[in-house]
Amino acid sequence: MPHFIRLTHLMGVLFIALFSQLAIAQPALWSVEKNGVTSYLFGTVHVGDSKMHGLDNRIKTAIANSQTVVVELNTQAIGALELQRRTLPFMLQKQGRTLKTSLSAETYQKVQRYFSERQIDITLFNNYQPWFVMLTILQLEYQKAGFSEEFGIDKQVIEYAAGLNKPIMELESLEQQLALFSALGIQSDAMLLDTLKQVEDFDSYFTRMINAWKNGDYQQLDVFYKLSFDDSKYGQQAEQVMLIERNNHWVTTLTPKLTNSSHFIAVGALHLPQQHGLIKQLQARGFKVERLK
């Protein structure tokens, strides 16, 4: 289950009959219009490779034509020391608990084997929450596959908007995003076992997903969505916490703003599709949402 895409990387990344298959070899951009006010909706990926450096001219133009740029979280506005200070309370185990006591013996052994094969001592993670270990595993796999946050699309959107002196609006705080992982803490074993299963074919899986995003292939991305959130208890909880609840909150926040001024909204691509996705919800509130060529 690609957790990074679920978050925001975390991770990653749309689709159903509404999105007819278009032969457009570029990431999808949507217009959102109501009462004569046009905004833009852009599904991003949080990591990329060097070939993804530089935004498409359509995206740059849409940003330039918008009064405000909206992102999940503006990490560029948080310094390294501040990031560490605000993150540590969420990452660390509660007093008296360790990673080993937080997991079943089977899960701990599998995680230990993963790190051992990479010459990493699992005891380095003794005092950390299982979700931090999960993110560490994914980060290692992204790096091995040649992807990094440096070329993430949301990061590039923020940097370009800042260069134009556009106001940048955050949909969430850092603490709110970190709390999402804590909410999944009761499923720590399932989270890590699912992650270890995912990395068995990580290079091929993630590369295919990125290519689908690059080509604006929303039918293929829909396949990845369904793989990401299966019918398991953990899959359903992750979808509810990471996507559905956040989408509902975002639409409530955005609706009055989009009727008054133009916004460029850049959020993880998995937040766009399905009945609970931003596209359907905005349409239900009277907005005309169309994919731009």
Residue numbers of the domain that contains 177? 3-292
Q: How far apart are CA 183 and CA 161, in angstroms?
A: 32
CA torsion through residues 28, 292, 58, 161, sign: negative
87 contact partners, CB below 8 Å, separation of at least 6: 174, 178
Tell me the two tokens of residue 20: 């007819």
Tokens of 274: 């399905």
**Counting Cβ atoms within 10 Å, is residue 207 exposed (0-12), middle (13-18) or buried (19+)?**
middle
Output the pLDDT for position 10.
Answer: 36
Confidence (pLDDT) at 89:
94
State how many domains the chain has: 1
Residues with Cβ within 8 Å of residue 196, at least 6 apart in sequence: 110, 111, 114, 137
Q: Which of 249, 257, 256 is nearest to 278 (CA)?
A: 249
Q: What angle do CA 6, 72, 257 make, to 5 degrees?
A: 130
Return the closest-CA partner of residue 13 out of 228, 203, 172, 178. 228
Per-residue pLDDT of the chain (293 residues; tens, 9 = 90+): 444 333 333 333 322 222 323 333 489 999 999 999 999 999 999 999 888 999 999 999 999 999 999 999 998 899 999 999 999 999 999 888 999 999 999 999 999 999 999 999 999 999 999 999 999 999 999 999 889 999 999 999 999 999 999 999 999 999 999 999 888 877 899 999 989 998 888 877 788 888 888 888 877 877 777 777 877 888 889 899 999 999 999 999 999 999 999 999 999 998 998 889 999 999 999 999 999 98
Q: How many CB atoms are located within 10 Å of the residue 238 CB?
A: 25
Per-residue model confidence (pLDDT) at position 21: 31
What pTM did the predictor assign? 0.88
Structure tokens given for 60: 């740059």
pLDDT at 234: 86
- The strand pair at 68-71 and 263-268 is best described as parallel
Strand pairing category for 168-170 and 263-268: unpaired
**What's residue 255's pLDDT?**
98
Q: How far apart are CA 25 and CA 16, in angstroms?
A: 19
pLDDT for position 3: 42
Beta bridge partners of 31: 40, 290
